[in-house]
Chains A and B, each alone.
Chain A
């Protein structure tokens, strides 16, 4: 059996590992456009901040590929999947044949339609090459503007702040981390970072990124201007764009593989074409809380999807039973936070319980529907987050526990005592 995996990150590596466990004799090939071994994209901010070097970003030991007998085709981009001939076409026109294919190509920075984003010094932060380039620019930079206060933007901002740069974060929405947090939670995190010296401009869109004028270039300056909606002009030598991502689906366009925004898969992670599977940021799966089918670009879900796809590829049917699409843990400076599920209910049909102690950097919020927890935010004290998450996944009735959970007094012991 020839297994081919396109993508060498969370989903791809877990799939290769799982395939090798289930099929000792199968041929496994990983194709990646990046030249080196698998690393953690989540650690790129730590690399930017100078807290980890490149070797320390690797998610597996160096001999991982040899030990698992995985062939590698690195530094070559897969540009097309020919489902009829069961071949993957690479950028140099060479072809790789497969019996079972996993598409785990991930996602890349989606640059918004703002003028001037194509210029030098305007970068996303999605892969090691991006991070290296940012560090190149850093040598001559004093000021950074980060567009977008989502996770990547906030991580990049704090990392470059730690490198001694002046950082300004511009966010269109009225608070930071708008997809994950509500306002009280966001304000605690923002205050923590502001105290350190990061500057925020909220509720402001970016109209244009202007290059250095002829006059400034004459004086050897490279700074760019970030022009906001209201006409304000920020100056920066580095502009980081972190307003969103897009799944890397170009290689399956105009094939039988069904595309929505990401690749559509069934409950076995199989695409519309038999023997072709998809996992990770590129695959659309159903969120167990909201029922919405969408890409879920977070590390744990990519790994789990990679494992499930691999089981099915190896002929051991395993259903994708649904994960929580939105779940994130952060700690930028000193205050940890975990957010999961529906944190900002869209209408009044939800029960919201909240405990807010901003003076102690503490906030807890539970969102319930018919006594089932569908969302939570924990700021400051994140203990037991996984126990609450399990209640959410199981859609357990939390009537007896909800007050205790809110107060931070809940733990797994209550569930054990309930059965013993």
Chain B
């Protein structure tokens, strides 16, 4: 199963991933359209000290957001491995329990009237997620969790959770 991997050392904080994500989730499909529609990106480039860090959903195996969801909207698809609160009979009510549960801070409140939790949906229907396709520095890659990244994920996981 392919996942979005981050090479931190290659990220220069250009925000292209976040803009591409917003565009991909807008009805126009363009960056300008997304800005006009007020669609936020679902990947967040944060500054830690002077260094940029892209923050995105890890689609956890035992996802805490899934356990926290009290409507049943947030589920991990057994086939694709993607964790999402969209596209099911059960719908999100915007109770923010998932925001309280996510140890990565990868879920946000959708701006606007309707309460809705917003997170990476893994870009279903696209061969490569929009953020990865747009990254000019190859800081984001879409690949199998090989031994190297497995090791890195373990390292990252040991700092939290």
User: A-side interface residues toward B, CB under 8 Å?
Assistant: 10, 14, 40, 42-43, 46, 52, 56, 58-61, 299-300, 303-304, 307, 327-331, 336, 338, 340, 382-387, 389-391, 393-394, 411-420
CA–CA, A383 to B40, complex, Å? Answer: 14
Known contacts: A59-B72, A60-B72. The answer to whether A303 contacts B160 by CB under 8 A is: no
Tally of contacts, chain A with chain B, CB under 8 A = 138
Partner of A300, one of B51, B62, B101, B105: B101
Q: In the complex the two chains form, is A46's CB within 8 Å of B93's CB?
A: yes
Interface size range on B against A: 35 or more
- Main secondary structure, interface of A, reads helix
**For residue B128, which residues in chain A have a CB less than 8 angstroms away from its CB?**
none
Residue B95 at the A interface, CB < 8 A? yes
Closest to A420 in B: B8
What is the 8 Å Cβ interface bit string for chain B, positions 88-122, against chain A (1 contact, 0 not)? 11110111111111111111110000010000000
**For residue B109, which residues in chain A have a CB less than 8 angstroms away from its CB?**
336, 382-383
Residue B70 at the A interface, CB < 8 A? yes
Partner of A14, one of B64, B67, B91: B67
Q: In the complex the two chains form, is A336's CB within 8 Å of B96's CB?
A: yes
Q: In the complex the two chains form, is B101's CB within 8 Å of A386's CB?
A: yes
CA–CA, A276 to B86, complex, Å? Answer: 36
Q: In the complex the two chains form, is A411's CB within 8 Å of B93's CB?
A: no
Residue B159 at the A interface, CB < 8 A? yes
Binds A, one of B17-25, B26-34, B42-50, B139-147: B42-50
Smallest beta-carbon distance B110→chain A, Å: 12
**For residue A303, which residues in chain B have a CB less than 8 angstroms away from its CB?**
67-68
Residue B135 at the A interface, CB < 8 A? no
In addition to A303-B68, A329-B95, 8 A-B residue pairs with Cβ atoms within 8 Å of each other are A56-B91, A59-B90, A329-B96, A329-B100, A338-B100, A385-B99, A415-B160, A420-B9
Smallest beta-carbon distance A390→chain B, Å: 4
User: B-side interface residues toward A, CB under 8 Å?
Assistant: 8-9, 44, 46-49, 51-53, 55, 62, 64, 67-68, 70-72, 88-91, 93-109, 115, 155-156, 158-161
CA–CA, A382 to B94, complex, Å? Answer: 12
Known contacts: A40-B72, A419-B155. The answer to whether A327 contacts B103 by CB under 8 A is: no
Smallest beta-carbon distance A46→chain B, Å: 6
**For residue A56, which residues in chain B have a CB less than 8 angstroms away from its CB?**
91
Known contacts: A59-B90, A417-B8. The answer to whether A387 contacts B104 by CB under 8 A is: yes
Q: In the complex the two chains form, is A418's CB within 8 Å of B159's CB?
A: yes
**For residue A10, which residues in chain B have a CB less than 8 angstroms away from its CB?**
70
